[in-house]
C-alpha cells in the first residue's frame, strides 16, 4: 500500500465507522439517520452561510490542531492549548485597547505579536517545568488552563470591562486592530459572516509548520527529540531546549486563535468564548495523524459537525446537537483504537503494516 | 527424540521456515546455528507450540504429534528456556518454578514438597540453587538455572535453549556447559540455538545449520570446524580472524586521567581510570558487562552531566572536561554507541535523516537561508554515499531505520561516524546482534580507520572480538582498570581471571 493511502485509510475508517454507529443511535432514538445526516451535512455545506461559518469554525481548530501537533512531534502532550488561547486572546485585546489610537499598520502587527508572544509564554511555562524540573507537562498544562481562565476573567471583570456592561467582556479594540472579513474580497459572500483573514493565516501556518518541522534544523531537532530523546542527546541536541522550544511554538500557534476571535470576529475580548477549541485540537491532531495537511482536513470535518449540529438541533424531532458530540467521541474512540489495532496486527506477525 | 519433517511457516510474505527437516537424537546436545532471521527460533517455537506450522509434521519419540500450545509440548516432555527470562523478581525460586503448575489443592499451596523436589533436582544436576531464595537476589547465571529447573520440574526430557549464553560471562558459560553435559549424562536431550561457533564446537554432538529459512547442513560436530560452519551459515567464505597489519602508532590523541563517574547515590560506577589512546592504534577494553564500560564511553562522548564527572579528559593536548556532546563531535570524537536502538538511531526516521544525526545543524547539511534550512540534496548525497560505501541494505534512503536488520542498522551508524573523519573513535559492542557476514565487514572497516591514523577505543563483551581487533588490551573490573595485557600473547584464561577477580 502506498504511504499516502495508508495514512488516509485509518482516519477514513474511523470517520465512516463513527457515522455508522451514530446512525444506529439515531435510529434507536426514533429518527431517520439519512434525513439527519443530510440536514447535518447540507446545512454545513450550503453557500454562502454554511460554508462560511464552517470555515470560520475550522479556523481556531486548525490553530489548536497545529499546536497539539507540534507538541506531539516533540513527544509532548500539550493539553494546555485552551489556556494558551485564552491568555493570548486577552493579550490581543489588551494590545488593541491600550494602543487603540494607532493606525492599522502599527496596530495589526502589534496585536499579532501580542497573541503569539502571550501564547508562546504560557506554553513555555510547562515546557520549562518539564525540561528543568521534570514535572509532567500533562499535569502542568491542565493546571495552567484553570489559572489562565480565572486570570483573564478576573482582569476582564475588574479592569477592562465597560462600566455598566452586564456581559463579561472587554471594551472594543481600536479600529486599527480589525482585520478584514473575507466577504470584502469575495463577491456574493456577505460580510456579516465572520470568516476573516485569520483563516488564510491558519492555512499559511500549516505550510509554515510543515516547513519548520521537516525542512529546518530546528524542526529536525524537535522531531528527533520526540522520536528518541536519548538518540537526540547522542546527536548533540539539547533535549531540554527542544522541549521548551516546542512548547513555546505550540503555545504561539494556539495563541493565534486570539487573532481570529478578537481581530476578526468580536473586536473585543469576550469571556468564555472558546468552544473547547483547545481540547478539540487534540482530536484534530490525532485524526489528522499529526500532519499539517491532516490537521486541515480534520479541522474541516469537526467544523462541519459543529456547524451542522446547530441545524440538526433546530429541525429534527428527537435528536439534538449532542449527536455531534457523540460523533466526535466515536471518531476519537476509533482513532485511538487504531493504535490497538496496529499493535495486534504486529503481534500476529504483520509487522510490515506498521512501518 | 524430536523430529521436524518438512515444516513450513510463513509470516505474511516472509517464508520463515521452508520445508525444514531437523532430527534430534535422544541423549545428545544438538546445536541449531544460523544468522539472525535464518528461521532457527521459528522452528523451535513451532516445536514448542508457540506457533503452528503451515504444513509439515512433528514427531516425538517416533510418533506424529499435534503440538498446538506450549501446554501440549510440556505434556510431551518438551521444555524451553527463552533468551529473556520469564521470572517474577520478588517471588522465591520455588514459587517461580511452581507458577502455573502449583502443587496441592486449589485452596492450599503445597510449597514445602515442591521445594524438596526442587532441591533434589538441583542436587541431581549440581545446579546449586536454593529454592527459598528470592529471584531478585540471584545473578543472571543463577536465574538461568532457575529457568532450567522450571523445565525439569515439569518433567522435560527435551530442553530447548534459545541463545542461552548471550547473557553469561565467560566463566558462567563454562559452568553452564558443565550442567548441560551432566544433563546429557542423565539421559536428557538438549537443543541449543546459537550463533556463536566456538560454543557450538565446545558443547554440541550434532549441528543443524539454517540459512534463509532452510536447513543447509547437518553435520557431526567432531567432523566440522568453525570455518566450515560459518561458510554454511553465510553462504560464502568468511574470514573469522581479523587480518591486520602492524599498527603505525602516532602521538597520544585521547588521554584519560583519573576519570570517575559518580552516580546519584554517590557511588562511582567508573572509578579513577587512567589510560591513553594514540593515533593509529586500537585500544580494547575487556570486562564483564556492567563494570563501568558504559559510563566510560558515555563520559568520553560528552553524554554524562559534567557535575557527575571527576578527573580529566584530554583530546590532542587540550582539556575537554566541560565540552558537550555536540562540540566533542566537532573536535573529532566519533561515537558508535553500545545500544543502537536507544542511542544510535532514530528508528522512525528515514535512513537519510539518520545519516545526518550529529551534523544536521551545520554545513553542508544545514546550509540554506543562513544555515536554518536543511539541504535535501546534500542529505540524499550523504545518505547514498554511506549506503553505497558501507553496503547498507536495502539500498533505499527513504526507508525508516526500523525496517533494517541489526547488521544493516549498525553499518549505517558506522558509516555515519566514519564519514566524520574522526581523530578518535569510541566504539562499543560494534557487532552485537550482527550477522557473521556483516561482522567481518565491520571489523575490516575499523582496522582501515585505524590504519588511516584514527585512535580507536573499543569496548566489547565478545572476548574473541576484543582480543583479535585490539593492539593493546585493558581489562576493566568494578570501574577500575584491572590490568593491561598484550592481546597477541595473553591467554583467555588470563584475561578471564582479570575480568572476574580484578587481579
Query: Per-block average pLDDT, block size 10, for chain B (503 residues)?
Result: 91 85 94 85 90 91 90 92 82 86 67 86 85 84 88 91 80 87 92 86 93 91 89 79 87 96 89 96 90 94 94 96 95 95 94 96 89 94 95 90 88 95 95 83 93 95 87 94 92 82 76
Same domain for B325 and B353?
no
The answer as to whether A89 is a domain residue is yes
Task: Please tell me which residue, B83 or A26, carries the higher pLDDT value.
Answer: A26
d(CA B121, CA B115): 10
Same domain for B136 and B178?
yes
| Omega before residue B433 within 30° of 0, cis | no
Looking at every residue in chain A, the average pLDDT score rounds to 91
The answer as to whether A2 is a domain residue is no
Query: For the purposes of burial, counting CB atoms within 10 Å of the CB of B85, is it exposed (0-12), middle (13-18) or buried (19 or more)?
Result: middle
The answer as to whether B240 is a domain residue is no
C-alpha cell at B21: 527437516
Is residue B346 within 8 angstroms of chain A, CB to CB? yes
Q: How far is CA A284 from the centre of its chain?
A: 7
Among A330, A303, A329, CA closest to A57: A303
Compute the nearest-CA separation of A353 from chain B (Å): 10
Range(s) of the domain holding residue B461: 252-332+421-501
pLDDT for B103: 67
Instruction: Give the three-state DSSP class for B249.
Output: coil
Same domain for B190 and B50?
yes
Quickly count: other Cβ atoms within 10 Å of residue A18's Cβ. Answer: 21
Helices within B272-324 (DSSP H only): 293-300
Same domain for B113 and B161?
yes
* Phi, psi of A300, deg, nearest 5: -60, -45
Is residue B12 within 8 angstroms of chain A, CB to CB? yes
Give chain B's domain count.
3
The answer as to whether A10 is a domain residue is no
Range in A260-274, A283-297, B88-102, B301-315 the model is least confident about:
B88-102
Is residue B252 within 8 angstroms of chain A, CB to CB? no
| Prediction pTM value | 0.81
Is residue B345 within 8 angstroms of chain A, CB to CB? yes
List the CATH number of the domain containing A60: 1.10.3470
Same domain for B48 and B170?
yes
Give chain A's domain count.
1
Final residue of a domain: which of B414, B432, B465? B414
Q: Which residues contact B429 (CB under 8 A, 6 or more apart)?
A: B338, B339, B459, B460, B461, B462
Compute the nearest-CA separation of B13 from chain A (Å): 9
Q: Is the CB of B301 less than 8 angstroms away from the CB of A232? A: no
Identity of the residue in A217, A230, A350 whose CB atom sits nearest the CB atom of B342: A230
The answer as to whether B132 is a domain residue is yes
C-alpha cell at A86: 485564552
Q: Is the CB of A223 less than 8 angstroms away from the CB of B349? A: yes
pLDDT range class, residue A344, cuts 50, 70, 90: low
Same domain for B206 and B120?
yes
C-alpha cell at B431: 557487532
Strand partners, B22: B4
Q: Is the separation of the CB atoms in B113 and B153 below 8 Å?
A: no
Question: Which residue of B306, B357, B394, B401 to mutate against A (max A Cβ within 10 Å)?
Answer: B357
Compute the nearest-CA separation of A260 from chain B (Å): 30
Same domain for B443 and B367?
no
Helices within chain A (DSSP H only): 3-28, 33-44, 49-73, 81-98, 104-133, 137-155, 197-215, 217-227, 229-234, 239-255, 257-258, 277-287, 292-315, 322-347
Is residue A218 within 8 angstroms of chain B, CB to CB? yes
pLDDT for A195: 96
d(CA B487, CA B281): 13
Q: Which residue has the cell 532441591?
A: B119
Instruction: For residue B447, give the H/E element and its range.
Output: helix B436-451
Query: For the purposes of burial, counting CB atoms within 10 Å of the CB of B306, is it exposed (0-12), middle (13-18) or buried (19 or more)?
Result: exposed
Q: Is the separation of the CB atoms in A173 and A267 below 8 Å?
A: yes
Q: Which residues contact B236 (CB under 8 A, 6 or more apart)?
A: B437
d(CA B373, CA A214): 9
List the CATH number of the domain containing B151: 3.40.50.300
The answer as to whether B343 is a domain residue is no
The answer as to whether A40 is a domain residue is yes
DSSP B14-38: EEEEEEEEEEE-TT-EEEEE--TTS
Nearest-CA residue of chain B relative to A218? Answer: B372
Q: Is the separation of the CB atoms in A149 and A164 below 8 Å?
A: no
Q: Give the count of alpha carbons within 13 A of A222, CB side only.
A: 27
Report which listed range, A189-193, A197-201, B268-272, is most confident: A197-201
Report the alpha-carbon angle B33-B38-B41, nearest 5.
70
Q: What is the largest CA-CA distance in chain A?
A: 69
Query: For the purposes of burial, counting CB atoms within 10 Å of the CB of B273, is it exposed (0-12), middle (13-18) or buried (19 or more)?
Result: buried
d(CA B93, CA B136): 9
Nearest-CA residue of chain A relative to B339? Answer: A231
Same domain for B378 and B466?
no
pLDDT for A354: 34
Final residue of a domain: which of B399, B414, B429? B414
d(CA B161, CA B33): 12
* Phi, psi of B227, deg, nearest 5: -60, -40
ipTM of this model?
0.87
Same domain for B369 and B283?
no
Question: Which residue of B361, B378, B409, B412 to mutate against A (max A Cβ within 10 Å)?
Answer: B361
Final residue of a domain: which of B414, B433, B451? B414
Compute the nearest-CA separation of B229 from chain A (Å): 30
Is residue A74 within 8 angstroms of chain B, CB to CB? no
d(CA B482, CA B494): 12
Helices within B287-390 (DSSP H only): 293-300, 325-330, 351-354, 376-389
The answer as to whether B245 is a domain residue is no
C-alpha cell at A326: 457523540
Q: Is the separation of the CB atoms in B469 and B282 below 8 Å?
A: yes
pLDDT range class, residue A129, cuts 50, 70, 90: very high
Nearest-CA residue of chain A relative to B353? Answer: A220
The answer as to whether B337 is a domain residue is no
The answer as to whether A335 is a domain residue is no
Range(s) of the domain holding residue A230: 32-316
pLDDT for A303: 95
The answer as to whether A3 is a domain residue is no
Task: Please tell me which residue, A308 or A313, carries the higher pLDDT value.
Answer: A308
pLDDT range class, residue A352, cuts 50, 70, 90: very low
Same domain for B425 and B410?
no
Same domain for B57 and B182?
yes
| Omega before residue B394 within 30° of 0, cis | yes
Q: Is the CB of A350 less than 8 angstroms away from the CB of B12? A: yes
Mean pLDDT of A287-307: 94
Nearest-CA residue of chain B relative to A224? Answer: B346
pLDDT for A341: 66
Q: How many Å is the Cα radius of gyration of chain A?
A: 21
Burial track B399-410 (b if 16+ CB lie within 10 A, e otherwise): bbbebbbbbbbb
Same domain for B63 and B159?
yes
The answer as to whether B338 is a domain residue is no
Question: Which residue of B13, B327, B373, B404 to mutate against A (max A Cβ within 10 Å)?
Answer: B373
Chain B partners within 8 Å of A350 (Cβ): 11-12
Chain A, window 227-256: residues with a beta carbon less than 8 angstroms from a chain B beta carbon: 227-228, 230-237
Please say if the pLDDT value at position A131 is more than 90: yes
Q: Is the CB of B358 less than 8 angstroms away from the CB of A233? A: no
d(CA B199, CA B332): 39
pLDDT range class, residue A117, cuts 50, 70, 90: very high
DSSP B163-223: STTTT--HHHHHHHHHHHHHHHHTT-EEEEEE--HHHHHHH-SEEEEEETTEEEEEEEGGG
Q: Is the CB of A231 less than 8 angstroms away from the CB of B335? A: no
Question: Which residue of A220, A227, A291 to mutate against B (max B Cβ within 10 Å)?
Answer: A220
The answer as to whether A151 is a domain residue is yes
Task: Please tell me which residue, A13 or A272, carries the higher pLDDT value.
Answer: A272
Q: Is the separation of the CB atoms in B60 and B4 below 8 Å?
A: no
The answer as to whether B341 is a domain residue is no
What's the Cα-to-Cα distance from B206 to each of A77, A134, B6, rounded to whole Å? 55, 55, 19
Chain B partners within 8 Å of A217 (Cβ): 360-361, 365-366, 371-374
The answer as to whether B167 is a domain residue is yes
Q: Which residue has the cell 449527536?
A: A323
d(CA A308, CA A304): 6
Share of chain A above pLDDT 90, in %: 72
Q: Is the CB of B349 less than 8 angstroms away from the CB of A230? A: no
The answer as to whether A334 is a domain residue is no
Amino acid at each position: 500500500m502506498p504511504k499516502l493511502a495508508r495514512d488516509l485509510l485509518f482516519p477514513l475508517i474511523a470517520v465512516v465507522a463513527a457515522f455508522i454507529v451514530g446512525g444506529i443511535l439515531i435510529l434507536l432514538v426514533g429518527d431517520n439517520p439519512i434525513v439527519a445526516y443530510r440536514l447535518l451535512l447540507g446545512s454545513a455545506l450550503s453557500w454562502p452561510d454554511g460554508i462560511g461559518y464552517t470555515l470560520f469554525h475550522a479556523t481556531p481548530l486548525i490553530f489548536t490542531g497545529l499546536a497539539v501537533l507540534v507538541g506531539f512531534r516533540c513527544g509532548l502532550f500539550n493539553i494546555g492549548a485552551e489556556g494558551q488561547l485564552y491568555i493570548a486572546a486577552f493579550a490581543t485585546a489588551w494590545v488593541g485597547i491600550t494602543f487603540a489610537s494607532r493606525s492599522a499598520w502599527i496596530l495589526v502587527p502589534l496585536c499579532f505579536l501580542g497573541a503569539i508572544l502571550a501564547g508562546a509564554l504560557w506554553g513555555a511555562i510547562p515546557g520549562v517545568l518539564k525540561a528543568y524540573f521534570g514535572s509532567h507537562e500533562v499535569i502542568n498544562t491542565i493546571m495552567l488552563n484553570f489559572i489562565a481562565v480565572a486570570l483573564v476573567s478576573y482582569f476582564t471583570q475588574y479592569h477592562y470591562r465597560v462600566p455598566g456592561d452586564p456581559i463579561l467582556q472587554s471594551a472594543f479594540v481600536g479600529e486599527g486592530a480589525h482585520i478584514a472579513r473575507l466577504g470584502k474580497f469575495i463577491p456574493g459572500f456577505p460580510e456579516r459572516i465572520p470568516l476573516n483573514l485569520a483563516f488564510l493565516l491558519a492555512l499559511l501556518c500549516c505550510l509554515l509548520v510543515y516547513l519548520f518541522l521537516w525542512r529546518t534544523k530546528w524542526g529536525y531537532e524537535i522531531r528527533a527529540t520526540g522520536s528518541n530523546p536519548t538518540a537526540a542527546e547522542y546527536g548533540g541536541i539539547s533535549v531540554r531546549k527542544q522541549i521548551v522550544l516546542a512548547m513555546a511554538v505550540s503555545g504561539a500557534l494556539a495563541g493565534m486563535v486570539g487573532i481570529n476571535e478578537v481581530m476578526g470576529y468580536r473586536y473585543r475580548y469576550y469571556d468564555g468564548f472558546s468552544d473547547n477549541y483547545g481540547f478539540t485540537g487534540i482530536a484534530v491532531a490525532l485524526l489528522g495523524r499529526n500532519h499539517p495537511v491532516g490537521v486541515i482536513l480534520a479541522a474541516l470535518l469537526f467544523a462541519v459537525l459543529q456547524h451542522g449540529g446547530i441545524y440538526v438541533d433546530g429541525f429534527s424531532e428527537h435528536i439534538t446537537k449532542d449527536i455531534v458530540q457523540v460523533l466526535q467521541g466515536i471518531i476519537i474512540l476509533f482513532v485511538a483504537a487504531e493504535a490497538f489495532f496496529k499493535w495486534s496486527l504486529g503481534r500476529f506477525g504483520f509487522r510490515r503494516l506498521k512501518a | 527424540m524430536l523430529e521436524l519433517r518438512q515444516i513450513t511457516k510463513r509470516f505474511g510474505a516472509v517464508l520463515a521456515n521452508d520445508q525444514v527437516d531437523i532430527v534430534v537424537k535422544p541423549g545428545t546436545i544438538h546445536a541449531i546455528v544460523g544468522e539472525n532471521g535464518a528461521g532457527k527460533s521459528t522452528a523451535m517455537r513451532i516445536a514448542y507450540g508457540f506457533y503452528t506450522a503451515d504444513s509439515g509434521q512433528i514427531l516425538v519419540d517416533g510418533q506424529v504429534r499435534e503440538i498446538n500450545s506450549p501446554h501440549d509440548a510440556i505434556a510431551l516432555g518438551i521444555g524451553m528456556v527463552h533468551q529473556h527470562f520469564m521470572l517474577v523478581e520478588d517471588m522465591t525460586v520455588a514459587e517461580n518454578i511452581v507458577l502455573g503448575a502449583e502443587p496441592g489443592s486449589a485452596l492450599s499451596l503445597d510449597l514445602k514438597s515442591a521445594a524438596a523436589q526442587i532441591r533434589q533436582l538441583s542436587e541431581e544436576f549440581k545446579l546449586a540453587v536454593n529454592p527459598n531464595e528470592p529471584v531478585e537476589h540471584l545473578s543472571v547465571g543463577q536465574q538461568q538455572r532457575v529457568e532450567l529447573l522450571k523445565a525439569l520440574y515439569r518433567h522435560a526430557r527435551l530442553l530447548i535453549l534459545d541463545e542461552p549464553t548471550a547473557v553469561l560471562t565467560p566463566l558462567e558459560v563454562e559452568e553452564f556447559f558443565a550442567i548441560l553435559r551432566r544433563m546429557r549424562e542423565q539421559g536428557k536431550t538438549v537443543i541449543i540455538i546459537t550463533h556463536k561457533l566456538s560454543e557450538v564446537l565446545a558443547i554440541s554432538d550434532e549441528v543443524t545449520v539454517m540459512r534463509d529459512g532452510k536447513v543447509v547442513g547437518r553435520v557431526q560436530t567432531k567432523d566440522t570446524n568453525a570455518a566450515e560452519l560459518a561458510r554454511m551459515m553465510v553462504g560464502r567464505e568468511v574470514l573469522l580472524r581479523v587480518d591486520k597489519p602492524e599498527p603505525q602508532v602516532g602521538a597520544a590523541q585521547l588521554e584519560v586521567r583519573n576519570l570517575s563517574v559518580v552516580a546519584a547515590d554517590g557511588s562511582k560506577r567508573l572509578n579513577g581510570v587512567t589510560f591513553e589512546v594514540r593515533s593509529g592504534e586500537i585500544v580494547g577494553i575487556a570486562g564483564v558487562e556492567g563494570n563501568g564500560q558504559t559510563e566510560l564511553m558515555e563520559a568520553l562522548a560528552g553524554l554524562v552531566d559534567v557535575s557527575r564527572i571527576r578527573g580529566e579528559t584530554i583530546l590532542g593536548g587540550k582539556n575537554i572536561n566541560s565540552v558537550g556532546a555536540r562540540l566533542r563531535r566537532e573536535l573529532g570524537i566519533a561515537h558508535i554507541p553500545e545500544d543502537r536502538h536507544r542511542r544510535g538511531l532514530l528508528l522512525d526516521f528515514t535512513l537519510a535523516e539518520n545519516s545526518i544525526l550529529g551534523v544536521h545543524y551545520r554545513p553542508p547539511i544545514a546550509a540554506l537561508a543562513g544555515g536554518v534550512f536543511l539541504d535535501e540534496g546534500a542529505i540524499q548525497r550523504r545518505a547514498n554515499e554511506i549506503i553505497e560505501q558501507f553496503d547498507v541494505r536495502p539500498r533505499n534512503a527513504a526507508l525508516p531505520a526500523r525496517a533494517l536488520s541489526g547488521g544493516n542498522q549498525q553499518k549505517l551508524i558506522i558509516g555515519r561516524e566514519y564519514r566524520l573523519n574522526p581523530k578518535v573513535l569510541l566504539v562499543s559492542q560494534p557487532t552485537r546482534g550482527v550477522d557473521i557476514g556483516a561482522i567481518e565487514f565491520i571489523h575490516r572497516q575499523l582496522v582501515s580507520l585505524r590504519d588511516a591514523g584514527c585512535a580507536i577505543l573499543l569496548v566489547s563483551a565478545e572476548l574473541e572480538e576484543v582480543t583479535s581487533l585490539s593492539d593493546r588490551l585493558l581489562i576493566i573490573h568494578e570501574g577500575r582498570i584491572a590490568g593491561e595485557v598484550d592481546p597477541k600473547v595473553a591467554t583467555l584464561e588470563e584475561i578471564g581471571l582479570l575480568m572476574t577477580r580484578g587481579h
